[in-house]
Structure 1
Amino acid sequence: MPSPPPTIILSHTAFHQPAHYIHFCAALNEVGLTEYRIPQLASSNPTPPKTDALAQDIAILRKTIRSCLSSGRDVLLVAHGYGGVPLSDAVSGLGDVGGRKDARVLGVVFVAGVVASEGEGFGSAMGSGVAGWVRLEGDTCTAMNPEMTFYNTVASKELVEEAVDHIRPQSTTSLMSPLGQAGWTGFPCAYIKCTQDNAIFPKDQDHMVAKLQKQCEWKPTIVELASDHSPFLGCPQKVAGMLKRLVDEADRAE
């Protein structure tokens, strides 16, 4: 009997929420990846926490990952933009998770994701500080010109307007706090570089790729996608297809 598909756990990017990924979920269903979780991170919220936002995001993701592993399903972790920072810590210390003995983390896929090493935060991980499109407003911050920052290659005006309506404020502390642990180094990693990204610029993504190549215990898989920061909206079928191929490769390597 074939094994059930793994659960895709997506750590969403800053200023976003699960509603931004509805079209991606439909694309996952189409390729047979019918189990997925996109937990709402505390840092992206109408009233985000003033302190400890990164720690809260890490706790939310760690709880989700542990719950899925304990249920007996393999998981594939996907980190979008800022989501790479809390996910990097959340994936640490998973060796004591109970449940089916062969339930495992298949890998970590960064999609224009921030690859943070121990002691780095969102800005310092890129080496260029907090992005210039982020407007700091005390305890919270907002994204300037989200249409061109996040969705500059999305053809549908209707989809862009809907996505902008879902944008939320972001906790300032979530972008400033340093990471405690970089657990991604102990898992197979892949990076999907979005070559037309106006949020995490391609040169910054190259910096992330170099970290993976230097610090990951496995040789990372690197692919390019002619997309803005939001391929989950503009070309969800392509991202879903890439994840399906990674899952199939992990199954063959088992």
Structure 2
Amino acid sequence: MPPKASVKRIARKPVRKTVSCGVYLCAFAAPEGLSIYFATNGPEDWHDVKHSVCRPMRVDEIFYNDCTPEQIEAASKDIRPQSTLCFLLPLTYAAWNHIPSTYLVCEKDNAIPLVAQETKIAHPEASFTVERCAASHSPALSMPDFTADVVRRAAGAKT
């Protein structure tokens, strides 16, 4: 959630338009006023929540289920705990409602299941350009070329 609030600060700079588009990679694209834990009825069973910190468990199954064992091992070393405030606080700015946005639906995502992604992009106020792939929650790791092409297209490049 915090990156979306930073987009608000960047996008409103008067000098020039600094944010041309948003790209959501199998992300939680919520409307303003909604928190992740409110939308999901609390922490997922793979969230280890202690002392205001959330640590993901079973990352090979949840985040990297289409990655090689080597990719999983390398990526798992970089996972850090996250403040539960990111999940508890309501979204104060929905960037997708203010700037052109692309949503990459990842059909094998176990962190945000396909039905949840489809619900987010079908929101009545949403106007996403939708791209799809058969990736896990980590398309930049398992499908880097395709993911880079999605970002380039969102930014206006012909790929």
Scaled by the length of structure 1, what TM-score is found? 0.57
Structure holding more helix per residue:
1
What corresponds to 1:164 in structure 2? 76
Unaligned stretches of 5+ residues in structure 2: none
Q: Does the aligned pair in 1 maintain the 2:31–2:91 contact within 8 Å? A: yes
What corresponds to 2:109 in structure 1? 197
Q: Does the aligned pair in 1 maintain the 2:101–2:154 contact within 8 Å? A: no
Worse-matched range after superposition: 114-123 or 127-136: 127-136
What amino acid is the match of 2:24? F
Unaligned stretches of 5+ residues in structure 1: 1-84
Higher relative contact order (CA 8 A, sep 6+): 2
Percent identity for Structure 1 against Structure 2: 29
Q: Distance in 1 between matches of 2:4 and 2:125?
A: 13
Instruction: State the shift of 1:128 in Å.
Output: 4.3
What corresponds to 1:25 in structure 2? none
Question: Aligned in 2, Cα 1:152/1:183: closer, same or farther, shift over 3 Å?
Answer: closer
Q: How does 1:125-136 map to 2 (within 5 A)?
A: 126-136=39-49
Question: Aligned in 2, Cα 1:108/1:245: closer, same or farther, shift over 3 Å?
Answer: same
Q: Distance in 2 between matches of 1:92 and 1:145?
A: 33
Question: Aligned in 2, Cα 1:87/1:215: closer, same or farther, shift over 3 Å?
Answer: farther
Instruction: State the shift of 1:145 in Å.
Output: 0.8
What corresponds to 1:150 in structure 2? 63
Q: Does the aligned pair in 1 maintain the 2:24–2:102 contact within 8 Å? A: yes
Q: Distance in 2 between matches of 1:178 and 1:129?
A: 13
Instruction: State the shift of 1:205 in Å.
Output: 0.6
> For the aligned residues, what is the CA RMSD?
1.9
How many residue pairs match? The answer is: 157
What corresponds to 2:122 in structure 1? 210
What amino acid is the match of 1:166? D
Q: Does the aligned pair in 2 maintain the 1:153–1:228 contact within 8 Å? A: yes
User: SS at 1:109's partner residue?
Assistant: strand
Scaled by the length of structure 2, what TM-score is found? 0.87
Q: Does the aligned pair in 1 maintain the 2:22–2:95 contact within 8 Å? A: no
Q: Distance in 2 between matches of 1:110 and 1:86?
A: 14
Q: Which runs of 4+ in 1 moved over 6 A?
A: none
Q: Does the aligned pair in 2 maintain the 1:91–1:184 contact within 8 Å? A: no
**Structure of greater Rg:** 1
What amino acid is the match of 2:125? Q
User: SS at 2:8's partner residue?
Assistant: coil
User: SS at 1:178's partner residue?
Assistant: coil
Q: Distance in 1 between matches of 2:86 and 2:154?
A: 30
Q: Distance in 2 between matches of 1:104 and 1:127?
A: 33
Q: Distance in 1 between matches of 2:24 and 2:51?
A: 29
